[in-house]
């Protein structure tokens, strides 16, 4: 990374800015988390901004690495070791889009995308740099596009701070990049200090807006990129961005507004985020549907790829809306019911760690909702797209607990989950991995979970419940193959018990009956059925009647799993 100030905004400046901004957010991360009270006081705004920008930085570094490789020995003749401004800014925007976390991170991704649309706007993509007026236009477009991406913009938030930065930059548009960046920073700083006068929830907590505070750190890094000094003085890369945190405004000065209940318990229960491949027209319809389902709706992106963020009570409906619009993936569902917010000795709200939490991998949106209602933090696994250990570590962090019980719910995820648990332990979190091999075993474990008892006792009880639950699933054979039950043909219905093919049939209901009969031969008290969205509509009622008539002492419970890969999951306790 260059160690000297940048005169113009070129590809090297993009790289320098991303690195400095990531460092600034890293220093301010805990502070920003601590003042996060709007729109949900979940104490993760600093973390979400950091992870979003980290993804942007990774993409920019990859763009540079690709050009450096092409220009080296054996590389393409005449290739430059430095990407164009267009390539660098597009990489930055794309990285932020695919890595956006939370409400604040999603808005930051759109701010960076808005800037990139101006910085890379020349027809041939070969412009080497832009000057102060160009940077001014980029900041203006960023603020406007971010505001348009939010369904119901609220003043006193990061949107207000971004608009103020763009307004101040416009007044300095005749200067160089350093002058424009400093004006934007100073305008944003003044707007940030005024946010408690615009949002009552901020005034009551005595803090400024957390998202705006994060944006100010990013703008401070922009100043440092072009001047060599962070606002307030200091050498490049060494100075901290000095900004107000505690609000200097009295509680009574904040107006009553739409946030009046933002810090109570009346808001939606889940945060749902996913990437979506879809056409513009489908996304317009999606916005309307999600706006009816919940709040804090932000949809950013374009050119066929979008990042969707919304707070809802029905997480399954929010994901299903994405399925109707296109192809959602990297789906993250977070339950807001864990953790409390209290006011610390310094007068700042701090999110209090809960003593214990459960983190579970689930195969369908219906089960994600079920687990979430039980208080678990979930990671949604799409068929053929198992989560990486990093996603599990992030979920453990989101659970914000001293002790975490991890349920992989898939035999193939055991090693991935073990790696995630080991990583979380290095961060001071006590993690117990229960080797659940199916979501129905996870349901059984969660049913006996009691966070009030000793950790070891709770883990033993949950492990025993999971181990006492036999599991099965019905899937459709994709090809002819040999199995333990004989040769199956493409399209056959396979009944797998404890991971092995036990029944081959042509009818889903008949195959399910045969599987349940085999499982209940060894005894059982409860049958759990989790229906996939491709299972026959009548199968639940038919199987319930079958169990009721043939096994008088056995109860049946039915859940809707949604798109879970299997036609049916079966558990017998």
Give per-residue burial for 301-313: e unless 16+ CB within 10 Å, then b.
bbeeebbbbbbbe
- Secondary structure class of 43 (helix, strand, coil): coil
One domain for residues 62 and 190:
yes
> 33-47, 94-108, 293-307, 434-448: which has the minimum mean pLDDT?
33-47
Q: What is the pLDDT of residue 224?
A: 94
Q: Which DSSP helix (H) or strand (E) runs through 340?
A: strand 340-343
One domain for residues 455 and 475:
no
74 in a domain, yes or no? Answer: no
183 in a domain, yes or no? Answer: yes
pLDDT tens digits along 134-172:
999 999 999 999 999 999 999 999 999 999 999 999 998
Query: Confidence class of residue 69 from pLDDT cuts 50, 70 and 90?
Result: low
Distance CA 81, CA 85 (A): 13
280 in a domain, yes or no? Answer: yes
Count of other CB atoms within 10 angstroms of residue 223: 27
Query: Confidence class of residue 1 from pLDDT cuts 50, 70 and 90?
Result: very low
Percent of the chain residues past pLDDT 90, beyond the cut? 47
One domain for residues 462 and 536:
no
Q: What is the pLDDT of residue 240?
A: 40
Spell out the alpha helix ranges (H) of 120-157.
Answer: 132-149
In this model, does residue 304 exceed pLDDT 80? yes
> 161-175, 223-237, 537-551: which has the minimum mean pLDDT?
223-237
* Beta-carbon contacts of residue 124 (< 8 Å; ≥ 6 apart): none
C-alpha Rg value of the chain to the nearest Å: 26
Distance CA 500, CA 492 (A): 15
One domain for residues 114 and 34:
yes
pLDDT tens digits along 120-133:
875 344 556 788 89
User: Could you tell me the CATH number of the domain that includes residue 297?
Assistant: 3.30.70
One domain for residues 414 and 285:
no
For the residues 185-203, what does the mean pLDDT come to? 93
Last residue of a domain, one of 468, 497, 515: 468
Q: What is the pLDDT of residue 352?
A: 63
Residues in the chain: 573
Q: Please state the pTM of the whole predicted model.
A: 0.63
Q: What is the pLDDT of residue 428?
A: 86
Query: Confidence class of residue 232 from pLDDT cuts 50, 70 and 90?
Result: low
For the residues 413-434, what does the mean pLDDT come to? 89
Q: Which of 217, 218, 198 is nearest to 208 (CA)?
A: 198
One domain for residues 499 and 557:
yes
In this model, does residue 440 exceed pLDDT 90? yes
Structure tokens at 61: 């570094």
Q: For the chain, how many structural domains are there in total?
A: 4
Distance CA 316, CA 338 (A): 19
Largest CA distance in the chain: 84
User: Could you tell me the CATH number of the domain that includes residue 454?
Assistant: 3.40.50.510
Last residue of a domain, one of 227, 252, 278: 227
More confident residue, 174 or 358: 358
345 in a domain, yes or no? Answer: no
One domain for residues 518 and 456:
no
User: Could you tell me the CATH number of the domain that includes residue 511?
Assistant: 3.30.1330
Distance CA 371, CA 358 (A): 9
One domain for residues 482 and 385:
no
Q: What is the pLDDT of residue 288?
A: 93
Distance CA 129, CA 142 (A): 18
In this model, does residue 34 exceed pLDDT 80? yes
- Average pLDDT, whole number, for the chain? 84
In this model, does residue 276 exceed pLDDT 60? yes
For residue 374, the enclosing domain spans: 354-468
One domain for residues 506 and 546:
yes
User: Could you tell me the CATH number of the domain that includes residue 175?
Assistant: 1.25.40.340
Q: What is the pLDDT of residue 256?
A: 43
Last residue of a domain, one of 195, 227, 259: 227
pLDDT tens digits along 238-271:
334 344 455 443 333 444 444 433 444 457 878 8
Name the one residue in this structure whose structure tokens are 């709200």: 349
One domain for residues 63 and 174:
yes
In this model, does residue 350 exceed pLDDT 60? no
Q: What is the pLDDT of residue 83?
A: 85
One domain for residues 41 and 111:
yes
One domain for residues 395 and 324:
no
Q: What is the pLDDT of residue 455?
A: 92
370 in a domain, yes or no? Answer: yes
135 in a domain, yes or no? Answer: yes
Q: What is the pLDDT of residue 207?
A: 92
256 in a domain, yes or no? Answer: no
235 in a domain, yes or no? Answer: no
The conformational region for residue 230 under phi > 0 = left, psi -120 to 50 = alpha, else beta, is: beta
């Amino acid at each position: 990374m260059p160690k000297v100030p940048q005169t113009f905004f070129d590809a090297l400046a993009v790289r320098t800015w991303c690195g400095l901004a990531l460092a600034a957010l890293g220093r301010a991360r805990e502070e920003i988390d601590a003042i996060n009270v709007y729109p949900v006081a979940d104490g993760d705004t600093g973390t979400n901004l950091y992870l979003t920008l980290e993804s942007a930085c990774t993409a920019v570094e990859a763009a540079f690495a690709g050009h450096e490789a092409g220009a080296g020995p054996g590389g393409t003749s005449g290739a430059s070791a430095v990407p164009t401004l267009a390539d660098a800014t597009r990489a930055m925007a794309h990285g932020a889009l695919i890595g956006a976390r939370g409400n604040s991170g999603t808005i930051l991704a759109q701010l960076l995308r808005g800037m990139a649309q101006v910085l890379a706007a020349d027809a041939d993509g070969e412009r080497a740099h832009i000057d102060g007026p160009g940077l001014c236009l980029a900041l203006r477009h960023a603020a406007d596009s971010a505001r348009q991406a939010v369904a119901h913009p609220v003043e006193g938030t990061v949107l207000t701070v971004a608009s103020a930065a763009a307004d101040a930059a416009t007044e300095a548009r005749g200067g160089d990049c350093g002058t424009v960046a400093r004006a934007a920073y100073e305008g944003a700083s003044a707007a940030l200090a005024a946010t408690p006068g615009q949002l009552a929830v901020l005034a009551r907590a005595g803090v400024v807006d957390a998202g705006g505070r994060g944006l100010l750190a990013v703008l401070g890094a922009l100043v440092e990129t072009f001047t060599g000094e962070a606002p307030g003085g200091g050498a490049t890369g060494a100075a901290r961005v000095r900004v107000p945190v505690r609000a200097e405004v009295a509680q009574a000065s904040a107006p009553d507004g739409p946030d009046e209940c933002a810090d109570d318990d009346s808001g939606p229960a889940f945060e749902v985020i996913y990437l979506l491949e879809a056409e513009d027209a489908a996304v317009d319809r999606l916005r309307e549907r999600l706006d009816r389902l919940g709040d804090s709706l932000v949809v950013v992106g374009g050119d066929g790829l979008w990042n969707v963020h919304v707070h809802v009570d029905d997480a399954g409906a929010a994901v299903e809306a994405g399925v109707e619009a296109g192809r959602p993936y990297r789906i993250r569902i977070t339950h807001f019911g864990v953790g409390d917010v209290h006011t610390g000795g310094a007068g700042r709200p701090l999110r209090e760690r809960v003593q214990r939490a459960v983190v579970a991998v689930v195969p369908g949106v219906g089960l994600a909702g079920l687990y979430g209602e039980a208080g678990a933090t979930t990671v949604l696994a799409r068929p053929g797209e198992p989560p990486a250990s990093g996603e599990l570590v992030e979920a453990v962090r989101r659970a914000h607990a001293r002790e975490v019980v991890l349920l992989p719910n898939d035999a193939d995820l055991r090693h991935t989950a073990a790696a995630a648990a080991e990583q979380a332990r290095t961060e001071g979190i006590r993690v117990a991995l229960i080797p659940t091999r199916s979501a129905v075993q996870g349901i059984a474990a969660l049913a006996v979970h009691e966070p009030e008892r000793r950790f070891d006792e709770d883990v033993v009880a949950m492990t025993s419940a999971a181990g006492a639950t036999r599991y099965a699933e019905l899937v459709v054979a994709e090809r002819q193959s040999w199995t333990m039950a004989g040769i199956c043909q493409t399209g056959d219905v396979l009944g797998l018990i404890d991971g092995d093919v036990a029944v081959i049939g042509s009818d889903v209901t008949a195959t399910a009956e045969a599987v349940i009969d085999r499982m209940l031969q060894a005894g059982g008290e409860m049958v759990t059925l989790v229906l996939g969205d491709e299972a026959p509509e009548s199968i639940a009622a038919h199987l319930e009647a079958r169990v009721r008539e043939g096994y008088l002492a056995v109860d049946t419970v039915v859940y809707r799993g949604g798109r879970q890969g299997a036609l049916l999951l079966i558990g017998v306790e």
